[in-house]
Amino acid sequence: MQPITVERGEPQSEVEPRWSVDSVEALLGLPMNDLLRRAHEAHRAHHDPNAVQLSTLLSIKTGGCPEDCGYCPQAARYHTEVVSEELLPLDTVVRAARAARAAGASRFCMGAAWRGPKDRDLEPVLAMVREVKALGLETCATLGMLKDGQAERLRKAGLDYYNHNLDTSPEFYSKVITTRDYRDRLDTLDRVRAAGVHVCCGGIVGMGESRRGRAGLIAQLANLDPYPESVPINSLVQVEGTPLHAQFGGVAAIDPIEFVRTIAAARITMPKAMVRLSAGRRELGDATQALCYFAGANSVFYGDKLLTTGNPDFDADRVLFERLGINAGAGNVAADLGAR
Ligand code: SAM
Ligand code: DTB
Ligand code: SF4
């Protein structure tokens, strides 16, 4: 099990230091140009600075979720425009994966609005993993909390990555979610790691947390031993009907500079990870995204839809990558698998 409170300087492994919340907060508070310089140097030391990996998402089971995550349009208890759907048939998933591959994605991530899969739910998902893997794509799934044995079954079917986010700092967590606790999340991450599946784990910025709250999230992620291979940093997409939407007196949108700072801190503290600029890219706009790529983001969700909300369409991303001289796509397959 991973400790929740850690201090920098304790040996975590032979090569990676531990990060205290204070030390990450200090990073986040550096003069912007000093922070960007450190982050970009860390980025160049471990990655091609002009390459971005593309993952495509598909919601394989939408809405009707029993959990109460305050940001999520798929929670049954909130009145959002999301229409619930049963698990998609296998051929629909395979068709979507083929289209993602044709568009240049190297990874296909299947998401389900479950608290966690029941054993009987897992069987059809295993078939999806097998078929997507057979297309030559990297496979990822995000299905909620896993019970003993489920991660092993997923690995045997060919799952490369499991996405399960810590979402925020341990201190802020209960303001956003009450139906599962931080320890449950760490336990699922331990099961994924122990089964030999790569860990994709990140969080959401802009839920009303303080800068120290963001430091707490980054420190938790960076102190996982080893830290995740993929780190999705989401900017909250405010969805009408969810408690975090401004209509409920929810939260003000995050300052984009503060978002870039968070990406930079993720890059410095987890230098070899793929840092994914995740939800919220449409709202961030091109110039902020460009700064994120400079600060160390080297992966995105690619396709006009995330799970239920919008994302820049293929063409918008292609144009932006072209303007930035970024090489995006299949050439970067498994860059992170090779790096660790
Ligand atoms: N139900 C599973 C679970 O919660 O683990 C998997 C799917 S869940 C939608 C995956 C992640 O999407 C969440 O942990 C959260 O980080 C992110 N997410 C969900 N809604 C979001 C929103 N409105 N804005 C930003 N990120 C969001
Ligand atoms: C992650 O960190 N972000 C993705 C993926 N992992 C599963 C999901 C973002 C969801 C945004 C809200 C929606 O589209 O429903
Ligand atoms: Fe359910 Fe996942 Fe949404 Fe939480 S984030 S309400 S667990 S679908």
Locus of tokens 């408690």: 243
Q: Structure tokens of 191?
A: 């099961």
Q: Is 67 in the pocket of ligand 3 (CB under 6 A)?
A: yes
Q: How far is Cα of residue 287 from the mean position of the Cα atoms in its chain?
A: 21
Quickly state the pLDDT bin for 187 (edges 50, 70, 90): very high
Other CB atoms closer than 10 Å to residue 243's CB: what's the count? 20
Q: What is the pLDDT of residue 154?
A: 98
- How many CA atoms, within 13 angstroms, populate the side-chain half-sphere of residue 198? 22
**Which bound ligand lies closest to the C-alpha atom of 244?**
1
- Strand partners of residue 109: 57, 140
C-beta atoms surrounding 338 within 10 Å: 7
Is any ligand 3 atom within 6 A of the Cβ of residue 113?
A: yes
Q: What pLDDT score does 303 carry?
A: 95
Which atom of ligand 3 has the smallest separation from the CA of 113?
Answer: 8
Give yes or no for a contact between 51 and 327, defined as CB atoms under 8 angstroms apart: yes
Of 232, 225, 263, 228, give the one whose Cα is nearest residue 336: 228
pLDDT beyond 70 at 1 = no
The length of the chain in residues reads: 340
Helix axes 90-103, 119-134, angle to 10 degrees: 40
Say whether pLDDT at 8 is over 60: no
Confidence of residue 246 (pLDDT cuts 50, 70, 90): confident
pLDDT band at 184 (very low <50, low <70, confident <90, very high): very high
Residue partners of 239: CB distance under 8 A and separation at least 6? 71, 72, 73, 80, 245, 308, 309
Q: What is the mean pLDDT of residues 263-288?
A: 97
Cα–Cα distance for residue pair 112/100, rounded to 1 Å: 18
What secondary structure letter does DSSP report for 330? G
Amino acid identity at 301: F
- Ligand 2 pocket check for 273: Cβ under 6 Å: no
Mean pLDDT across 12-28: 81
Distances (CA, A) of 62 to 58, 115, 220: 10, 12, 29
Structure tokens at 298: 């080297």
**Could you report the per-residue pLDDT of 105-159, keeping only the tens digit for each?**
999 999 999 999 999 999 999 999 999 999 999 999 999 999 999 999 999 999 9
Pocket lined around ligand 1, Cβ cut-off 6 Å:
71-72, 111, 113-114, 142, 144, 164-165, 167, 204, 234, 236-237, 239, 279, 307
Domains of the chain, earliest start first: 21-337 (3.20.20.70)
How big is the CA angle at 303 (ends 297 and 308), to the nearest 5 degrees? 100
Nearest CA among 113, 173, 169, 102 for reference residue 136: 102
Q: Is the CB of 165 under 6 A from ligand 2?
A: yes
> How far, in Å, is the centroid of ligand 2 from the Cα of 42?
26
Q: Whose CA is nearest to atom 3 of ligand 1?
A: 144
Contact 260, 218 (CB under 8 A): no
Q: Residue 329: its pLDDT value, please?
A: 80
Q: Are 68 and 75 in contact (CB under 8 A)?
A: yes
Ligand 2 mean position to 236 CA, how many Å? 10
Distance 157 CA to ligand 2 centre (A): 23
Sign, CA dihedral 245-247-251-257, equals positive
Task: Round the average pLDDT of the chain to a whole number and report it.
Answer: 92
Find the mean pLDDT for residues 300-325.
96
What are the CA-CA distances from residue 84 to residues 88, 108, 133, 180 (Å)? 11, 22, 27, 22
What residue type is 300 in one-letter code?
Answer: V
250: three-class secondary structure by DSSP = coil
Instruction: Evaluate: CB of 278 within 6 angstroms of ligand 2.
Output: yes
Q: Which atom of ligand 3 is nearest to the CA of 68?
A: 6
CA distances from 254 to 70, 234, 236 (A): 16, 11, 8
Ligand 2, residues 306, 308, 309: which to mutate, most atoms within 8 A of Cβ? 306
- As annotated, the active-site residues are 65, 69, 72, 109, 140, 200, 276
**Probe residue for ligand 1, chosen from 55, 65, 72 as the CB with the greatest number of ligand atoms within 8 Å:** 72
- Name the residue with the closest Cα to ligand 1, atom 5: 144
Residue of higher predicted confidence among 252 and 169? 169
* Confidence band for 37, pLDDT divided at 50, 70 and 90: very high
Give the residue-averaged pLDDT of 199-228: 97
Residue nearest to atom 2 of ligand 3 (CA): 113
pLDDT at 62 over 60: yes
Strands annotated E in the chain: 51-61, 107-112, 138-142, 161-163, 198-200, 203-205, 230-235, 274-277, 299-301, 327-328
Q: Which helix (H) or strand (E) holds 210?
A: none
Give yes or no for residue 330 having a pLDDT over 90: no
Say whether pLDDT at 261 is over 70. yes
